[in-house]
Amino acid sequence: MTYQNYQFKILAFKLLNLSLSSVAVFLSASAIRAQTDIWSTTEEVPIATQLLPLKGTNFSVIKSHSPESDNIDWLHGIALVRHMDQFFASFGCNEGRENTATEIAKYSTSNDGGLTWTNPQLIDAGDAPNLAISHGVFLEHAGKLWAFHGAFYNRLENVHTRAYRFSDQTQDWENMGIVIGKGFWPMQEPQLMADGNWIMAGLQVIDGLGKPNNPAAVAISHGDDWLHWDLHTLPKAEELQLWGESSVIVEGNQILNVSRWKQPWALVSTSDDFGKSWSQLKPSNLPLAASKPYCGTLSTHQKYIIGSIYAGNENRRAPLTIAVTRPDSGIFERVFVIRDAVWPGPGESNPQTSLAYPYAIEHEGNLYVAFSNNGGRGANRNSAELAVIPVSALVVTNQDKQTLAQSSNSGIANAYPGDVGIEDDPRVILVENFEHGSIDNLREQWDTVRDPEVMSFSSQVPAGSSGKQSLLMTQRAELGSGGDLYRVLGDGYEKLYARMYVKFAEDCEPIHHFGTCLGGNFPATPWPKVRAGEPTAGDKAFWVGIEPYGNKWQWDYYAYWCDMRGSPPRGQTWGNSFIHDSSLAVPKGKWTCIELMVKMNEVGRSNGEMALWIDGRTVSHLGEGFPRGKWTFDKFLPGQSGEGVRWNQALGDREYFTTAENGDPFEGFRFRTHDQLKTNFLWLYTYITRGTRGHANMVWYDDVVVASEYIGPLRSVD
């Protein structure tokens, strides 16, 4: 099937008569009036929690961020190629800031399929004052290896492309000089077209850094002559502001260009004459964070686009995903998640990390995807990382929606719209939807219900719920501090997930303590048995709560266990916290889905774990060796480094220490010292100690589920 035979037909995209509210904020009404359709009109673009998982993907680190040892602070734009039975990876790097004259181009090689890489070696450092050589692309053809790198003077002045030829004999790169001028910077490996010429996609830096007019562009070769290229700028509306890093998909004489811009949608343009003329760039109906995309065609004849692609993306460069078509189609139908910001595998993990600037090549049944990971540091102070994906894992079938519903990434709830029937799933341990006739009926389902007089049922329920009522706790200072629900979970579990929906009234005063709380007592007790201000006994107890943290109204953990950290002036141990992300503001007057995971450690090890999801998005995952950060008394600060401080109980005083440049690996959790202690209770409560007399502080709870696997948000019954 050719492009003439299917809906995507590059010659003339079907324009939808839909206004673009996301575009209208930035463009005048006359600029762009329609979307271009490259995502299926019969399939919804998935949200982040509905992304398909990829099976069999392996990860490795090409170049870690370690400026203290190699003087490379900024790194970006990894490129990949296979040549002479080894992989090459190139990148731009800098001891200073991005887009400054000290940028140089380096490369590493791998002889074991990308598992390990050599120390970086030089491609070019520039042979003139204030000349920067930055990141580029590779081309391997007829046994010869070429590289094409963006270069500039000073701060992105006189941008151009330089060519380099690799010598297999000397293992050096020969500088072939400037081959494309007028601001062109390549972003994708040259693609062979049916007319015998090659097309290399990128952008044209016209206005320069921070300016609006830097459009997508392509360079077209003269056959296999790599030293002569013709530059073609893609047309755009005058009002359209973009830094047009772009990539192309080639089929015959017809070409699709996919470009980034300021808004989280892919810009597209088409050509039917081998890239010589182009339609005007227009937003598509495919979400894409404002970062360089990478496109191509697999050996299965599936088209792909790599970037951060999911519904509701507000220019967040994570998770890293890949959208694919069916074979010989041009309409994208599925999105798989390659890697999320927080995860336990090789590479950096941080809730604020950006996974960006992908580059992909296929080799022997695998798609090798290189990408930048800033570890939450910002300013493209990246490590270079690699994902190796079996091409067979990207096949689109009619059954993969069923696979999604059953996958741990999508969650148990995805298979039970409105949570109807979820209590019958063998992985589910407890369900509480508060559909009771009275508070007395509710009390029969829990081991402890403290202050039931503050509890009532409300008709307010979360979107997607099949229920008709929720539980409302109303705290009044003159009557007490709030209320509790506490339930023993049998003999206990090695790993548990607890999900609930919560809403705080818009005038709710600061919360002192709050739960969803998972924990363990040995022996089990039918009431909350916790002691504040001191560590727990490793063979007797631990507990982990999720709290809005008082005046901060910011989600974080509140954890007690035997190895918890203390604070001045006496080394007292209040609940330890681990996120400290100001973007995790607790919304008032709105339902929020909270999910907590606790995994017990093996006795004698500190390999216990905790994870937190807010509205289906992973915001934290901590375990042995991840993430990196530093301690400041009882607070672990992910992604931070430098001087840390802890309380030394033996000395009875504070103790200072220095962390690595990108933080020290988190030590993990030793929740227990004896395997008799397991996670065996759920505790929901509201505790307000500084409420105003006469004021009602209202907190709603609903759709509580405890299970042995990830649950995920409610799936709408519609």
Q: Which long-range contacts (CB under 8 A, 24 or more apart) does 70-75 make?
A: 70/119, 70/120, 71/95, 72/120, 73/381, 74/98, 74/103, 74/379, 74/380, 74/381, 74/382, 75/372, 75/380, 75/381, 75/382, 75/383, 75/384
Give the span between the Cα atoms of 189 and 201, in whole angstroms. Answer: 8
Structure tokens at 563: 């190895």
Phi, psi of 84 (to 5 degrees): 50, 50
Give the span between the Cα atoms of 159 and 133, in whole angstroms. Answer: 10
pLDDT tens sequence across 511-536: 999 989 999 999 999 999 988 889 99
Confirm whether 718 is domain-assigned: no
Cβ contact 158:152 at 8 Å: yes
pLDDT tens sequence across 568-626: 988 889 999 999 988 889 999 999 999 999 999 999 999 999 999 999 888 898 999 88
Structure tokens at 464: 């997607």
Same domain for 311 and 189: yes
Same domain for 468 and 451: yes
Helix (H) or strand (E) holding 173: strand 173-180
Q: Is the peptide bond before 627 cis (omega within 30 degrees of 0)?
A: yes
Give the span between the Cα atoms of 289 and 42, in whole angstroms. Answer: 22
Single-letter residue type at 383: S
CATH number for 569: 2.60.120.200
Confirm whether 717 is domain-assigned: no
Residue 269's pLDDT band, with cuts at 50, 70 and 90, is very high
DSSP class of residue 119? P
Give the distance, in angstroms, between the CA of residue 661 and the centroid of all CA atoms in the same chain: 23
Confirm whether 69 is domain-assigned: yes
pLDDT tens sequence across 23-62: 333 332 223 334 578 999 888 888 887 788 888 999 999 9
pLDDT tens sequence across 206-254: 988 778 899 999 999 999 999 999 999 999 998 888 999 999 999 988 9
DSSP 259-297: E--SSSEEEEEEESSTTSS-PPPEEEEEE--SS--EEEE
Mean confidence (pLDDT) of the chain: 91
Single-letter residue type at 687: Y
Cβ contact 355:329 at 8 Å: no
Same domain for 436 and 386: no
User: Considering only CA atoms, which of 88, 97, 98 is closest in space to residue 62?
Assistant: 88
Give the span between the Cα atoms of 393 and 403, in whole angstroms. Answer: 12
Confirm whether 692 is domain-assigned: yes
Predicted pLDDT at 345: 83
Same domain for 242 and 261: yes
Pairing of the two strands 213-214 and 242-243 = parallel
Confirm whether 131 is domain-assigned: yes
Structure tokens at 648: 């030394």
Give the span between the Cα atoms of 667 and 197, in whole angstroms. Answer: 54
Predicted pLDDT at 618: 83
Q: How far apart are the first and last CA of the chain?
A: 35
Query: What residue numbers bound the domain in which 375 lies?
Result: 3-406
User: Considering only CA atoms, which of 123, 69, 76, 58 is closest in space to residue 383?
Assistant: 76
Q: Is the pLDDT of residue 154 over 50?
A: yes
Same domain for 348 and 424: no
Structure tokens at 122: 């030089």
Q: Is the pLDDT of residue 3 over 70?
A: no
Cβ contact 302:325 at 8 Å: yes
Structure tokens at 236: 């755009």
384 Cβ contact partners less than 8 Å away, ≥ 6 residues apart? 61, 62, 63, 75, 78, 89, 91, 370, 371, 372, 373
Domain count, the chain: 3
3-state secondary structure of 52: strand
Looking at the chain, the whole-number percentage of residues with pLDDT higher than 90 is 78
Same domain for 219 and 167: yes
Same domain for 643 and 598: no
Q: Is the pLDDT of residue 396 over 90?
A: no
Single-letter residue type at 569: P
pTM of the shown model:
0.61
User: Considering only CA atoms, which of 579, 576, 549, 572 is closest in space to residue 560?
Assistant: 576
Confirm whether 524 is domain-assigned: yes
Same domain for 443 and 376: no
Structure tokens at 386: 């690699």
* HSE, side-chain direction, 13 A CA sphere, residue 247: 23
CATH number for 15: 2.120.10.10
3-state secondary structure of 454: helix
- C-alpha distances (whole Å) from 57 to each of 118, 219, 338 are 22, 33, 8
Strand partners, 475: 697
225 Cβ contact partners less than 8 Å away, ≥ 6 residues apart? none
Confirm whether 152 is domain-assigned: yes
3-state secondary structure of 49: helix
- C-alpha distances (whole Å) from 551 to each of 586, 690, 694 are 11, 11, 20
Predicted pLDDT at 398: 58
Detail the DSSP E strand segments found in 38-143.
58-63, 74-83, 86-94, 104-110, 121-124, 131-141
465 Cβ contact partners less than 8 Å away, ≥ 6 residues apart? 418, 419, 433, 501, 702, 703, 714
pLDDT tens sequence across 156-200: 999 999 999 999 999 999 999 999 999 999 999 999 999 999 999
Same domain for 506 and 442: yes
Confirm whether 200 is domain-assigned: yes
Same domain for 491 and 370: no
A 10 A CB-CB count for 487 gives 20
CA quadruple 399, 404, 408, 413: dihedral, nearest 10 = -120
Single-letter residue type at 619: V
Same domain for 550 and 634: no
Looking at the chain, the whole-number percentage of residues with pLDDT higher than 70 is 93
3-state secondary structure of 26: coil
* Ordered alpha helix ranges (H), 12-75: 21-24, 67-70
pLDDT tens sequence across 334-350: 999 999 988 778 999 98
Phi, psi of 68 (to 5 degrees): -65, -20
Same domain for 681 and 661: no
Single-letter residue type at 490: G
Q: Is the pLDDT of residue 634 over 60?
A: yes
Give the span between the Cα atoms of 251 and 3, in whole angstroms. Answer: 8
- C-alpha distances (whole Å) from 199 to each of 80, 116, 228, 247 are 17, 32, 12, 10
